[in-house]
Amino acid sequence: MKKVFLLLFMAGLFSTGLVSCRDQKSAGDQIEDVADDVEDAVD
């Protein structure tokens, strides 16, 4: 029973580590993306 909890705990730590290492877009990058989408829609 301990092994099951330990396995779930380790899987949780591993998955949180992967999520936190992703690239996060700043507000400026998001605004640029929206501006590019609007420009493409106009064309």
Residue 27 has pLDDT above 80, yes or no: no
Residue 9 has pLDDT above 80, yes or no: yes
**Mean pLDDT value of segment 6-32:** 73
Residue 13 has pLDDT above 80, yes or no: no
Number of structural domains found in the chain: 1
Give the length of the chain: 43
**Mean pLDDT value of segment 5-33:** 73
Domain range enclosing 24: 2-42
**Mean pLDDT value of segment 6-35:** 74
pTM for the model: 0.41
What is the identity of the amino acid at 17?
G
